Structure 1
Amino acid sequence: MPTPTDTAEFLEELNGGAFASQIGHALSEVASGVVDHGKAGKLVITLDFSQIGESSQVKIKHKLDYKVPTKRGTRTENTSLDTPMHVGSGGRITLFQEKHDQLFSRDEAPIKPRA
């Protein structure tokens, strides 16, 4: 069975960890506004995937959009960036390409050296 993408690692790899940090900041801002003003807040994370050429890489557009309740309304912020990622076996998404073991040992090589 393929190993699924490690969600925490994936989020940390988007934009070199800056996206995860932005999510943390937004979570705190929205929660604070909700508690301080008794109104609903909202945080939306959008991930759009597109293949890079004909490779096994994808460009992931990650967008963070949030509304913080204020005394007289809401304050809105958003950010959007792209991160290229590799898609490995079973669809596992990683920043770096998977390492593959050598297919044949020297003794099992399909082409024998000349004598």
Structure 2
Amino acid sequence: MKPTDPGEFIASLNAGVLANQMGMALSHVAAGVVEHGKKGKVTLTLELSQIGDSHQVKVAHKLDFTEPTKRGSKREDTATETPFFVTANGLQLFADNPSGQLFTKQDAPVVARD
């Protein structure tokens, strides 16, 4: 199995929304750190679980950040889930051949017409 491309993986989470949220969190926390001279924190947590008996996994992702302020800090978190296929090319949002998995010849035999 090839390794999953981390940039493509992050960009696929929640249809790209998580990547935008992460960018905003990093910018806000960094600005707070510089402005107030205190530490900030950005955490991305990923939990993977199998979906049924398939070759798919559910990736639960949580973005949590703490932005320092003048008299304390401001905290926000968001959590969502994204399904992925486990393929020979790593985790992918879409299967290489999704319609190829629908039916086998035993499930839907085609009888030739005379």
C-alpha distance in 2 between matches for 1:99 and 1:10: 19
C-alpha distance in 2 between matches for 1:52 and 1:22: 26
1:39 aligns with: 38
SS at match of 1:22: helix
Q: Deviations over 1:16-38 (max 9, x none)?
A: 10000000000001000000000
Paired AA for residue 95 in structure 1: L
2:80 aligns with: 81
Deviation of 1:89 after TM superposition, in Å, equals 1.6
SS at match of 1:36: helix
Spell out structure 1 runs of 4+ moving beyond 3 A: none
RMSD: 1.3
SS at match of 1:55: coil
The count of corresponding residues between Structure 1 and Structure 2 is 98
Paired AA for residue 35 in structure 1: V
Return the TM-score normalized by structure 1: 0.82
Q: Is 1:96 aligned with 2:94?
A: yes
2:62 aligns with: 63
SS at match of 1:53: coil
C-alpha distance in 2 between matches for 1:88 and 1:98: 8
C-alpha distance in 2 between matches for 1:26 and 1:93: 25
Paired AA for residue 96 in structure 1: F
Q: Percent identity?
A: 51
SS at match of 1:50: strand
Structure 1 gap ranges (5+): 101-115
Q: Deviations over 1:28-56 (max 9, x none)?
A: 01000000000000010000101000101
Deviation of 1:99 after TM superposition, in Å, equals 3.8
Q: Deviations over 1:59-96 (max 9, x none)?
A: 00010000000000000000000000101126x10101
Deviation of 1:98 after TM superposition, in Å, equals 2.3
C-alpha distance in 1 between matches for 2:56 and 2:15: 17
2:29 aligns with: 30
